[in-house]
């Protein structure tokens, strides 16, 4: 979902990362430290969509406007996909996810995507959805990096530090789990980057929004990156 890390002063955001990242390990998690890109002209009304909220007994921090690029703000756009209304289309190359609407329109969300070689592409369906999902690294990941992942072999409960965030959509193909997820993140500054171990990550505020719009069984098209 890799670029060299850059040195910078220990900001409030970086301090938060140093506390959270040790818990955010494995599939769909960040594989390096990202350099935040300052926002340029995000409207106050757009920034307000990403304010702090309480959900399911958990607290979701507001997204610092400095962590939101204008292009990644949730917005209604002309549909570029040609898919039927209700279809989710993931465009890894441009770091967007579209929910196709009626009348040639689509809701567009900025996303973080998988690193080269770790991503899925093709057509799938939303097998099921979960609020505040639990997470477990795959057996392959544990075998590949046991020192990093074995501690989570029994799984991590859902919550504020879980790398899947507030919601997850589980993608299946031909009735089989692809191990590919569309999920939230507690690292909103990584949206728009290729940083994870394969999954599609969204700001928690956005994944909550799309979760309530998309039913189980919805078609998902993941374009080649």
pLDDT band at 203 (very low <50, low <70, confident <90, very high): very high
What pTM value is reported for the model? Answer: 0.80
CATH assignment at residue 110: 2.40.440.10
Is 90 exceeded by the pLDDT of residue 114?
A: no
Structural domain includes residue 5:
no
Is 90 exceeded by the pLDDT of residue 124?
A: yes
Q: What string of H, E and C letters represents the secondary structure of the chain?
A: CCCCCCCCCCCHHHHHHHHHCCCCCCCCCCCCCCCCCCCCCCCHHHHHCCCCEEECCEEECCCCHHHCCHHHCCEEEECCCCCCCCCEEEECCCCEEEEECCCCEEEEEECEEECCCCCCCEEEEEEEEEECCCECCCHHHHHHCHHHHHHHCCCECCCCCCCCCCEEEEEEECCEEEEEEEEEECCHHHCCCEEECCCEEEEHHHHHHHHCCCCCCCEEEECCC
> What is the sign, positive or negative, of the torsion defined by CA atoms of 169, 170, 172, 178?
positive
CB 201 within 8 A of CB 7: no
Mean pLDDT over 94-119 rounds to: 89
pLDDT of residue 144: 83
* Containing structural domain, residue 43: 12-222
Q: What is the C-alpha separation between 97 and 4, in angstroms, rounded?
A: 26
Q: How many domains does the chain have?
A: 1
pLDDT of residue 91: 95
Structural domain includes residue 134:
yes
β-bridge mates for residue 91, sequence order: 96
pLDDT per position as a tens digit, 182-199: 999 989 999 999 876 668
Structural domain includes residue 129:
yes
pLDDT band at 29 (very low <50, low <70, confident <90, very high): low
pLDDT per position as a tens digit, 136-185: 887 877 898 899 889 989 998 999 989 899 999 999 999 999 989 999 99
């Amino acid at each position: 979902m890799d670029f060299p890390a850059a040195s910078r002063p220990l900001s409030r955001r970086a301090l938060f990362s140093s506390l959270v990242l040790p818990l955010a390990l494995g599939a769909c998690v960040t594989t390096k430290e990202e350099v935040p890109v300052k926002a340029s002209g995000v409207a106050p009304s757009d920034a307000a969509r990403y304010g702090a909220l309480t959900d399911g007994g958990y607290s979701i921090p507001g997204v610092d406007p400095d962590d939101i690029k204008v292009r990644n703000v949730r917005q209604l756009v002309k549909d570029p996909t040609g898919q039927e209304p209700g279809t989710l289309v993931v465009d890894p190359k441009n770091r967007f996810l579209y929910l196709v609407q009626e009348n040639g329109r689509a809701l567009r969300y900025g996303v973080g995507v998988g690193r080269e070689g770790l991503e899925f592409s093709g057509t799938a369906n939303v097998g099921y959805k979960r609020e505040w999902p639990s997470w477990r690294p795959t057996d392959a990941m544990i075998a590949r990096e046991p020192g990093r992942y074995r501690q989570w072999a029994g799984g991590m409960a859902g919550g504020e530090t879980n790398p899947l965030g507030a919601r997850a959509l589980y993608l299946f193909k031909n009735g089989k789990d692809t191990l590919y997820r569309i999920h939230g993140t507690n690292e909103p500054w990584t949206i728009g980057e290729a940083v994870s171990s394969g999954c599609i990550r969204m700001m928690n505020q956005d994944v909550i929004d799309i979760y309530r719009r998309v039913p189980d069984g919805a078609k998902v098209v993941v374009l080649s990156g």
